[in-house]
Amino acid sequence: MIRYLTHNQIYTQRWDECIEKSPDGNVYAWSWYLDVVHPNWEALVEDDYECVMPLTGNKKFGINYLFQPFFTQKFGVFGKTEVTEEKIEQFFEAIPGKFKFAEFRINKSYETDNHRNIELSLNQNYSVLAENYHSNTKRNLAKAKKQGLTIVENAEPSAIIELFRKNRGKKIKHWGDKEYNRLLSLVEAAKNHSACFVLGVQNPDNQLIAGSFFMTSHNKIVFLFSGSDESNKENHGLTFLLDYVIEKYSGTQKILDFEGSDNDGLARFYKGFGGEEKFYKELKFNKLNKFYNFALKIFKQNKI
């Protein structure tokens, strides 16, 4: 039987046991991760946590809706064994009727829009992986290596966030202190669970020019967040950093998940390292009347 549980009804130890065993498990589904990105998250749970599905909901204009929180790529249905399409349908049908609208991405195929991801299997020697880089990536890496760049292990997360805010972050108006502080909390929580590493790139003047947060879980290394100094972009710091990760974990069974690849420019950059396109789905439903659909339109326009 599939039950709807509010946050305080969820037995997190049993939840995490299910996520740990799940063939489709990912870092976003751990209870500690959900606690940071969406406090008071709820869930659908089958029997004794044999299958679970996180529900991240909110309420605006009197409307209960489901959405994908910042710093999560996808959720879905997770089971201790392989989850069937029939089981996924059962979970979707069990979503409480109070939720009138939903847009969230899932880890299984479903009849709705595709989203693109780029992944690179690291199970070959570095020399083989590097040979598969696209020509432009090889040229940029060669330029980076001539700049005297160095990798900083355990770089300061706040410095990388500040680097992002001063550069690309200026164009992202709907992110503020709340979102960046949540990201810092997420990195600290992940470190406490040995599920994160932070790398920086310095130039010969010891100036931080790039940095990234990587989440690790279920044999995946997730390129969650990065910052780079646009005035130093000719140094190709992120190319240098990603090549370092690929070399370090080459010859393992891990997969480098570049995440966030719906943007064509980012997808080209990631595929330059030999990554392959993978697709996942987004679940959408809309049970709103005309008045509430108008309110929803205003909500999206203003990102309230």
| pLDDT per residue as tens digits for the range 109-158 | 444 457 788 999 999 999 999 999 999 999 999 999 999 999 999 999 99
The pLDDT value given to residue 111: 40
Cross-strand partners of 45: 3, 52
| Distance from C-alpha of 239 to C-alpha of 148, rounded to nearest angstrom | 14
**The domains spanning 2-110+281-302 and 116-273 adopt the same CATH topology:** yes
Residue-level pLDDT at 160 = 97
CA 3 to each of CA 24, 42, 46, 78, 187: distance values in angstroms, whole numbers, following the listed order = 21, 11, 6, 14, 31
pLDDT above 70 coverage of the chain, percent: 91
Return d(Cα 227, Cα 103) in angstroms, integer: 27
Given a cut of 80, whether residue 298 has pLDDT beyond it is: no
The predicted model scores a pTM of: 0.90
The tens digit of pLDDT for each residue in 194-229 reads: 999 999 999 999 999 999 999 999 999 999 999 999
- 179: tokens are 């979102």
pLDDT of 173 > 90? The answer is no
Angle, alpha carbons 54-9-27 (nearest 5°): 30
Round to whole Å and give the CA distance between 224 and 204: 26
Domain boundaries, the chain: 2-110+281-302, 116-273
Average pLDDT, the chain: 90
Q: Which CATH class is domain 116-273?
A: alpha beta
For the structural domain made of 2-110+281-302, what CATH number should be given? 3.40.630
* Confidence (pLDDT) at 171: 85
